[in-house]
Structure 1
Amino acid sequence: MIEGGSEMYRVDDTMRRIAVNGGAQDALVFTTPTGIFIGLGNESKTLLSPIDKRSIDMEKVAQVNQLSRSFAAHELGLHELHEALHHLDQNTPFFPFWLQVLAAGVCSTMLMVVFAQAYDWFDMPLAAVVGALGFIAYAKISPLTRVRFISELGGAFVVGVTAWAGVKLGVGRNLDNVIIGAVMPLVPGVAITNSIRDMLAGHLLSGIARGMEALLSAAAIGVGIALIFRFF
């Protein structure tokens, strides 16, 4: 669930429910964005599991919730739940890459209209193409580095370069509108929202950590765009 971008209080609640329904009434759970800890009452055993990667995958979060409910309803046994969770982790259904790129293009166009507060029909096709190219760059760079912010900086830089080139070639008119719309698929909106929700739920450590992660992501995007205005 953490790898899929879930809120920490939801992870806590799901782990406790599974433990209670599995017979561990006094389970102790502690979660952070980089690891989860669970202990079983007076027993000296504690399980630690690190979280090496995090992204946004609401399908995985929803499926884990469904499996937890099925276990609580005694539709699954503990061993069956473990096998189902392992299978889900290895075979999470996901949209094909071409559809993600298409969605990024549509999202860029629609959000350009929202933020520009005008139907800029001439710039819409360019915003769609630029947003799609920026998302492709982000997706291709991500597996090549362990530093998450490098991929966001690279994606934003591609957005800036292609938007600037499109306007110079005459296929777009308003550079600001195109960039505002095209950069939105890279913005960590879910991370910002979950950070606030975690802090409101009392998970201050997780909320602050995710908030800093979101701010660094936004800063990387800003640097990628700023480079274009600085040198072009």
Structure 2
Amino acid sequence: MDNAPKTYDVIEVCMLAGKIMMESGAETYRVEDTMSRIASSFGIHNSHSFVTPTGIIFSIDGDDPSKLYRISKRSTDLKKVTEVNSISRKISSGDLTVKDALLELRKIEKESVAYPIWLQIFAAFISSGCFLIMFQGQWHDFIPACVAGGLGFSCLLYLHQLLEIKFFAEFLSSLLIGLAAMLFVNIGIGYEIDKIIIGAVMPLVPGLLITNAVRDLIAGHLVSGISKGAEAFLTAFAIGTGIAVVFSF
């Protein structure tokens, strides 16, 4: 009877760590490895985990039931991934008990460590212009690209809160970027509409998702790799469709 609560708490720690990492943009194999290491550190050496972008299943040998967590939201928050990895290392070194680890993970789950919205928009604003220069654009198009990129990213953040359909938000954001770039060129502020659009849409491109999809496929996680690749493809398709609609007019 004494081991039952402890075993349940260990499963809860493993599941919560995996859930936070998966929701924050970690790779599938990293999530499974972290869960396995945490379980081994607490004396459970025969654990099994199955991680996909939409759910986590974890079980151990014996009579203890398997547990499933549903992943309904996914974002990019590598700060949380780093903090969970730090807790995992403390557990491996014996510095944290099961109860303390569970409290720390629940604290990480509740807190918002992402940068403020205004800073995210400003970063998209500056990076859009820098991408334009990187793609051999001219300096006189720097400000139009910054403004278009900032408007598109602001629209993306707003629509993600307003709409449940992620790809529709990306379509409208890229549509706004295309319209803004066309407006700048037509009134004489911008000159190369293609370079302005390329620089402005780069903050919308799912770079981390594509990278994780490739790394999961290489690591042998075919289900996660294919599903992440499909999500990245749909996101890129939505962005391209928004720009294509602008050029069709």
User: TM-score if structure 1 supplies the norm length?
Assistant: 0.96
Aligned twin of 1:72: 92
Give the 5 Å matches for 1:21-170. Answer: 21-115=41-135, 117-118=136-137, 120-170=138-188
Report what 2:31 is aligned to: 11
Q: Which consecutive unaligned segments of at least 5 residues does structure 2 have?
A: 1-20
Q: CA deviation at 1:92?
A: 3.1
Aligned to 2:5: none
For 1:11, give the aligned amino acid: V
| Structure 1 gaps, min length 5 | none
Question: Which runs of at least 4 in structure 1 moved beyond 6 Å after TM superposition?
Answer: none
Offset, 1:70: 1.1
Residue 232 of structure 2: aligned partner: 214
Deviation per CA, 1:203-232: give whole Å up to 9, x if none. 01100000000000000000111110012x
Q: Is the CA contact 2:131–2:202 (under 8 Å) kept in the aligned structure 1?
A: yes
Alpha-carbon shift at residue 168 of structure 1 (Å): 1.1
Separation (CA, whole Å) in 2 of partners of 1:202 and 1:43:
29
CA distances 1:147-185 after superposition (whole Å, capped 9, x unpaired):
111111111011111111111111111100100000000
Give me the CA root mean square deviation: 0.9
Larger helix fraction of residues: 2
The residue identity in structure 2 corresponding to 1:6 is A
Q: Distance in 1 between matches of 2:42 and 2:178?
A: 52
- Give the stretch that moved more between structures: 193-202 or 158-167: 158-167
Is the Cα–Cα contact under 8 Å of residues 9 and 198 in structure 1 kept in the other structure?
Answer: yes
Return the offset for 1:44.
4.5
In the alignment, residue 99 of structure 2 is paired with which amino acid? H
**Percent identity at matched positions?**
42
Distance 1:113 1:137, change over 3 A: same
Distance between the aligned counterparts of 2:239 and 2:63, measured in 1?
A: 47
Which residue identity is paired with 2:149? G
**TM-score, length of structure 2 as denominator length:** 0.90
